[in-house]
Amino acid sequence: MKISKNIDVVSSITKEDFEKNYLKPQKPLIIKGFASLYPADKKWDIDFLKDYCGDVDVELFDNNITKHKSTAFTTPDLTMRFSDYVDILKREQPSNLRMFLFNMFKKRPGLKKYFPYPYLFDGILGKMGFMFFGAKNIKVRIHQDIDMSNVLLTQFHGRKRVVLIDPKYSTLLYRLPFTTYSLVDLDNPDYEKYPGLKYVEAQECVLEKGDALFMPSGYWHYITYLDWGYAVSYRELAISLKMKWRGLVSLAFLMPFDKVMNYLFGKKWLAYKEKVADEKAYRLALHIEAENRIMSFRKRQPANVVFQAQVNRS
Ligand SMILES: O=C(O)CCC(=O)C(=O)O
């Protein structure tokens, strides 16, 4: 797997340029200091948020619970007062608990005036802002967002490393059928078990406080918290009909079906999904390997030999 650090970085951008150069071509972008355009940048320190949202019961996922291996993160492992969770984070000790995709704006609509729907996005998803919190070293497994929306993730505290991968690599990432995630470990890629990974090209970056990352629809992301921190994501519907359709089908049919099958058949269902993902990736990897061999064979041959070979075939 090749990981490059080649995501475009800007310190400001107009909506027109963003649409022309990033949204329409579906190209990732980092906007340094994006949060400084909004009052939240100064206002939202952790003590303010604790005060403002402290008595909200928030849903948390425990990264140590392995049952999540088999299905999407939809049912939280526990709920806790937000103020208690903040105390855990502020202690700066290891914790497996993370707040994932929590719509705090629904619980505290007043937060919106500090960070409204960003000017780069339009559309019906403007009401949905999600918060993500986690301790240092927390990892968010590699996944695509289930609705296949475009995402703008703005970091308000701490740093995080994000690895992004174009959706065209979904098969080589061993996406489990009926889901939008994969079980591959990008920190320790196992090329014996997942040979298709060799052909994947990824992009990585480190988001710092105030930075925003544009993740086009369907882009895979794998996240590691380098410090404890929090971020907010806003979304805009996918541009292409294909991605809109895929998002709708995933949400309305594939995920519910996967949940039922998981409930009924548990580990057997997971084993079946892994087998299908392996077979698809294996076939594609063989195909790529064969094409690479043909290309390098052609390059080694003098032009007339290649020409003669073509003539003999015809
Ligand atoms: O920052 C995080 O914790 C996760 C972000 C994420 O997965 C998302 O925005 O879809």
Could you read off the pLDDT of 140-154 as tens digits, one per residue?
999 999 999 999 999
The answer, yes or no, to whether any atom of ligand 1 lies below 6 A from the CB of 95, is no
Mean pLDDT of 286-310: 70
Residue 66 has pLDDT above 80, yes or no: no
Q: Residue with the nearest Cα to atom 2 of ligand 1?
A: 132
Give the integer Cα–Cα distance in Å for 141 and 208.
Answer: 20
Q: Which tens digit of pLDDT belongs to each residue from 84-142?
A: 999 999 999 899 999 999 999 999 999 999 999 999 999 999 988 999 999 999 999 99
The answer, yes or no, to whether any atom of ligand 1 lies below 6 A from the CB of 183, is no
Residue type, 32: K
The answer, yes or no, to whether any atom of ligand 1 lies below 6 A from the CB of 221, is yes
Q: What is the pLDDT of residue 78?
A: 94
- Ligand 1 atom nearest to CA at 155: 1
The answer, yes or no, to whether any atom of ligand 1 lies below 6 A from the CB of 176, is no
Q: Which tens digit of pLDDT belongs to each residue from 29-43?
A: 999 999 999 999 999
What is the distance in A from the centroid of ligand 1 to the CA of 130? Answer: 9
Give the integer Cα–Cα distance in Å for 301 and 314.
Answer: 19
Return the CATH architecture of domain 2-253. Sandwich (2.60)
Give the integer Cα–Cα distance in Å for 141 and 270.
Answer: 16
In the chain, the percentage of residues whose pLDDT exceeds 70 is 93
Query: In 53-82, which positions are buried (b, 16+ CB within 10 angstroms) versus exposed (e)?
Result: beebebbbbebeeeebebbbbeebbeebeb
pLDDT, averaged across the chain: 93
Q: What is the pLDDT of residue 314?
A: 35
Give the integer Cα–Cα distance in Å for 277 and 196.
Answer: 11
Q: How many CA atoms lie within 13 A of 100 on its CB side?
A: 22
Give the integer Cα–Cα distance in Å for 218 and 195.
Answer: 22
Task: Please report which confidence band the pLDDT of residue 260 belongs to, taking 50, 70 and 90 as the band edges.
Answer: very high
The answer, yes or no, to whether any atom of ligand 1 lies below 6 A from the CB of 145, is yes
Q: Tokens for 140, please give them.
A: 């968010």
The answer, yes or no, to whether any atom of ligand 1 lies below 6 A from the CB of 213, is no
Mean pLDDT of 200-222: 98
